[in-house]
Amino acid sequence: MPFKEELISEKQLKKKTIISFSVFIVMIAVAVIGWKWLNKQPDDNGTPKPIRKVLNYNEGIFSKLYSHNHLAKTFPLSAAVKKVRVNGSDGMSAGFDPSAWKLKVARSPGDTLFITLDEIKALPKTEIVFDFKCIEGWSQVTHWGGVKFSDFAKKYNLTSQTQMNYVGLITPDKGYYVGNDMPAMMHPQTLLCYEMNGAPLPMNQGYPLRLIIPVKYGIKHLKRIGTVFFSNERPADFWYERGYDYYAGL
Ligand SMILES: Nc1nc2c(c(=O)[nH]1)N[C@H]1C(S)=C(S)[C@@H](COP(=O)(O)O)O[C@H]1N2
Ligand SMILES: [Mo]
């Protein structure tokens, strides 16, 4: 078919230009008004309410999609880096006395266990090499050792506690705290971890005990656990209060 050139008069061209430009201006105005509106909305844990609604909706989809039979990918020992990055030191204040440390487990009101590191080390040890992912955009294949939280729960008869919806973890100085859903805590790769690269956890990596929860982003891997408690409501969460997603699943 021969190419038929469409001739547009100068007048038509002008009209088209005006229309395009007006559409552009209207779009900018909508964006500006929308942005202003969003910023005037009430805050829900560090995020305007409409955005929090979207986050909660996404969370619902992901928590249904990822049954906790799904395992994080693991790697051979040789893939683990020797120089492990240190990220975040909230709740790791200098006054900490490791010799006095015991893990505090609040089973129920008036029923609190205090467990020593040696008692935790006496439980069956599990090791994992996986890709540790931080929400800031970096990841690193790292090697950890400790006791599965599920084995720990069995040993200390936390049967009714593990039927609750959440586990809260708090540093001894209360400066960092997270809440994790029970399926993620009872996941077979979730560890109360006391070793990194086959050696005791370094101080800045959470000595004596940290959480390793490979189905979640780094923010949920609380370093230096002081207290563990159980709840049906969401425990307070440091980064949730600063606008991040509560679930932070992978
Ligand atoms: N107590 C405590 N735990 C923490 C943090 C923190 O600031 N304080 N930061 C978290 C974040 S954002 C990440 S990515 C990981 C980093 O663990 P690493 O320092 O062993 O690499 O720890 C998590 N656990
Ligand atoms: Mo992180």
Q: Is residue 15 part of a domain?
A: no
Distances (CA, A) of 75 to 71, 80, 82, 128, 144: 12, 8, 14, 8, 12
- Position 82 confidence tier, pLDDT thresholds 50, 70, 90: very high
Q: Is residue 105 part of a domain?
A: yes
Q: Is residue 23 part of a domain?
A: no
- Position 227 confidence tier, pLDDT thresholds 50, 70, 90: very high
Distance of CA 87 from the midpoint of ligand 1 (Å) = 5
Q: What is the CATH number of the domain that holds 170?
A: 3.90.420.10
Distance of CA 109 from the midpoint of ligand 2 (Å) = 32
Out of 207-211, 222-226, 246-250, pick the least confident: 246-250
- Please check the confidence at residue 4 and state whether its pLDDT lies above 60: yes
* Residue located via tokens 């599990």: 126
Q: Check pocket membership of 224 for ligand 1, CB cut-off 6 A.
A: yes
Tens digit of each residue's pLDDT (9 = 90 or more) over 118-147 = 999 999 999 999 999 999 999 999 999 999
CB 228 within 8 A of CB 106: yes
Phi first, then psi: what are they for 188, rounded to 5°? -65, -15
Number of domains in the chain: 1
Tens digit of each residue's pLDDT (9 = 90 or more) over 208-222 = 999 999 999 999 999
pLDDT of residue 67: 56
Q: Which protein residues have a CB closer than 5 Å to ligand 2 (ion)? A: 134, 218
- Position 177 confidence tier, pLDDT thresholds 50, 70, 90: very high
Tens digit of each residue's pLDDT (9 = 90 or more) over 54-75 = 888 877 777 766 655 689 999 9
Average pLDDT for 26-42: 89
Q: Is residue 32 part of a domain?
A: no
pLDDT of residue 44: 87
Full domain range(s) for residue 150 = 72-85+100-242
Average pLDDT for 145-161: 97
- Position 148 confidence tier, pLDDT thresholds 50, 70, 90: very high
Q: Check pocket membership of 203 for ligand 1, CB cut-off 6 A.
A: no
- Please check the confidence at residue 1 and state whether its pLDDT lies above 60: no
pLDDT of residue 68: 57
Q: Is residue 61 part of a domain?
A: no
Percent of the chain whose predicted confidence (pLDDT) is above 70 = 95
- Position 37 confidence tier, pLDDT thresholds 50, 70, 90: confident
Q: Is residue 24 part of a domain?
A: no
Residue with the smallest CA separation from ligand 1 atom 14 is: 218
Distances (CA, A) of 12 to 9, 16, 18, 26, 223: 5, 6, 10, 21, 67
